[in-house]
């Protein structure tokens, strides 16, 4: 897929460039990012260069993952990272994100997740956007809840992080949750 840029009131979500390497390197020194995400720990310059020069562009090239640098519209400061990844079931995607410490608590990540979700449903033909986080990652869960994800439970041993299997929380957002049409008919189970 050809990389694109999404715009919100305060943010740009754009493909990563080599120019983001220093910002990513600095943000990923945060112990919380290293603890709760799958970024390497310790996180070095080679990791940031691999991400900006190979991993992120490769996802766009092979249409498997779409990585966005989340930056402030005015200053271009790096707020965080957000990725949309294709899952095995057609029409199903997963969102992942981290926020630089100095930009937390301002609603930027929620704003970015909503923009990426709308793009997933309207441009990628998504019918389900999943969110997963290690059980206990309360800030990530708060973003998911603020953006309309419905919590679906806890999966045992569902995440592999730095060689350790961990339990995961999972939630999902559907196009109808945002007032958008889906591409397939959805027939919910009787409750």
Residue from 134, 129, 131 nearest 165 by CA: 134
The predicted structure's pLDDT at residue 191:
63
Contact indicator for 35, 46 with CB cutoff of 8 Å? no
Handedness of CA 117, 85, 68, 6 (dihedral sign): negative
Q: Quickly tell me which residue has 């290690």 as its tokens.
A: 134
The predicted structure's pLDDT at residue 94:
98
Contact indicator for 141, 105 with CB cutoff of 8 Å? no
The predicted structure's pLDDT at residue 190:
78
Please enumerate, as own/partner, the contacts of 73-78 that have beta carbons within 8 Å and a separation of 24 or more.
Answer: 73/7, 73/10, 73/11, 73/12, 76/12, 77/23, 77/103, 78/20, 78/23, 78/24, 78/27
Degrees to nearest 5, angle at CA 84 with 88 and 16 = 135
Report residues of the chain scoring pLDDT below 50.
none
pLDDT tens by residue, 48-102: 999 999 999 999 999 999 999 999 999 999 999 999 999 999 999 999 999 999 9
Contact indicator for 72, 61 with CB cutoff of 8 Å? no
């Amino acid at each position: 897929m050809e990389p694109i840029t999404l715009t919100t009131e305060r943010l740009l979500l754009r493909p990563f460039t080599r120019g983001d390497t220093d910002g990513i390197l600095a943000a990923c020194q945060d112990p919380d990012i290293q603890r709760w995400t799958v970024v390497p720990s310790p996180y070095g310059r080679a990791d940031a260069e691999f991400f900006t020069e190979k991993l992120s562009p490769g996802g766009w090239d092979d249409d498997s993952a779409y990585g966005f640098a989340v930056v402030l519209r005015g200053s271009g400061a790096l707020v965080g990272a957000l990725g949309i990844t294709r899952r095995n079931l057609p029409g199903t995607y997963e969102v992942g994100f981290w926020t630089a410490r100095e930009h937390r608590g301002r609603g930027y990540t929620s704003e970015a997740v909503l923009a990426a979700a709308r793009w997933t449903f309207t441009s990628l033909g998504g019918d389900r956007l999943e969110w997963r986080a290690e059980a206990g990652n309360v800030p990530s869960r708060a973003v998911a809840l603020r953006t309309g994800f419905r919590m679906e439970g806890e999966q045992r041993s569902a995440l592999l992080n730095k060689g350790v299997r961990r339990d995961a929380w999972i939630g999902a957002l559907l196009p109808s949750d945002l007032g958008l049409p889906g591409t397939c008919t959805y027939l919910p189970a009787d409750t």
